[in-house]
Amino acid sequence: MSVLITGGAGYIGAHIVRLLVDRGDRVVVVDDLSSGDASRLSGATLVRIDLAGDGARERLGSAIRDHGVTSVVHLAARKNAAESVTDPAGYYRDNVGGLAAVIGACADTGVRRLVFSSSAAVYGTPAVPRVDEAAPTQPINPYGESKLVGEWLVRDAATAHGIDAISLRYFNVAGAGWPDLGDPFPLNLITIAIDRVRRGLAPSVFGADFDTPDGTGVRDYVHVMDLAEAHLAALDALASRQQADSPAGAQVFNVGTGEGASVLEVLDRLRAASGIRFEVQVGPRRPGDPAAVVADPAMIAQQLGWRATRTLDDMVSSAWQAERPEPTASLA
Ligand code: WQD
């Protein structure tokens, strides 16, 4: 199989690239390297394209033809929910515009298999703590909106161009499959907490008055290796469907463990992994933060045969042990 991965030089993409290269697939990475790291990509071909830029559709089509690409995984996107509130146009341009270029290139070249990186952010603040794919999609920021619009565009592409697609709604991704593939940006709980602990600072707890067992926010943390394996399961399912001449569709799956963990539980795992008995500082809630968002992952297990196998301890300890750039001024 020859797979093109946009955003493949990023934290999640690099894990998917390495798994595909290790199993013998030909891999082409399309990335603008605005946040990706080319040194992660041994064994893959890198093509630098800004997917929201002029001529991106045509350049992408050339890369697909030049490398005999049969499947595309589209990860390239901006994903900072807080940043999206201050730059909605930039998020729609990059996240929806970039996807439009990918779909156009697939239509132009006859590529009929697409895996799209979506997000649990499409659920916004769910009315129930555990969500399946039929739960209402009510995103509360432009990042989540851009992912939901992306799912609609993928669905329309199935109808218009016969592109058979799977959208994966990522829950809270964490950990590292290899020490050199840690998440370099402290933008989420575990990476922010590690960055602060390494600088001798107390991690912050955003709210301890939620209606949860210990009062802190509950999320569904999924190991980046499990998430990467979900992409391979999706690619293989699409390949089988094309071989069976199945009609193009647009399936959507939650990618999570189905288990929730609170902020305090995660930080306690970090004390164990680091051996540092750090204190925490409890502050106010973040505006819009839901108390709990946990996946019901029954559909992906049933349809793709994928289940998460790695634990919260695996995530926190691998994140702690991963090679990281020098601690930065935390962005939190
Ligand atoms: C997790 C919990 C915070 C930092 C993200 C993004 C996006 C999406 C879903 C892929 C919350 C608390 C955090 C800190 C804290 N995934 N927290 N102190 O908000 O669930 O959403 O995951 O698209 O990546 O939307 O992730 O890591 O910011 O927060 O107490 O310093 O940790 O309040 O309860 P979130 P997060």
Q: Is the CB of 119 under 6 A from ligand 1?
A: yes
Q: What are the residue ranges of CATH 3.40.50.720 in the chain?
A: 2-174+221-255
Q: What is the mean pLDDT of residues 47-56?
A: 95
272 CA distance to ligand 1 middle (Å)? 21
Comparing CA positions, the residue from 149, 170, 35, 36 lying closest to residue 103 is 149
Distance 261 CA to ligand 1 centre (A): 12
- Do 175 and 316 meet the contact criterion of CB atoms below 8 Å apart? yes
Select from 60, 110, 100 the least CA-distant residue to 77: 100
Closest ligand 1 atom to the C-alpha of 172? 22
- Domain covering 2-174+221-255, topology: Rossmann fold (3.40.50)
pLDDT of residue 287: 87
Q: What is the pLDDT of residues 223-245, one digit of tens each?
A: 999 999 999 999 999 999 999 99
Query: What tokens does 243 get?
Result: 């071989």
Q: 143 an active-site residue?
A: yes
pLDDT digits (tens, 9 = 90+) for 80-119: 999 999 999 999 999 999 999 999 999 999 999 999 999 9
* Sequence-ordered list of residues with C-beta below 8 angstroms from that of 302, at least 6 positions apart, any chain: none
Query: How many whole angstroms from 251 Cα to the centroid of ligand 1?
Result: 26
Tokens representing 276 are 């540092």
Span 111-153, pLDDT tens digits: 999 999 999 999 999 999 999 999 999 999 999 999 999 999 9
Pick from 162, 134, 168, 136: nearest CA to 150: 168
The structure tokens listed for 67 are 């490398």
- Homologous superfamily of 179-219+258-294+310-321 in CATH? UDP-galactose 4-epimerase, domain 1 (3.90.25.10)
In the chain, list all ranges with CATH 3.90.25.10.
179-219+258-294+310-321
Instruction: Indicate the pairing of strand 218-219 with strand 261-262.
Output: antiparallel
Sign of torsion, CA 211 280 261 175? positive
What's the maximum distance between 2 C-alpha atoms anywhere in the chain? Answer: 58
Pocket test for ligand 1, best of 143, 206, 218, 220 (most atoms within 8 A of CB): 206
Distance between CA 327 and CA 329 in Å, rounded?
A: 7
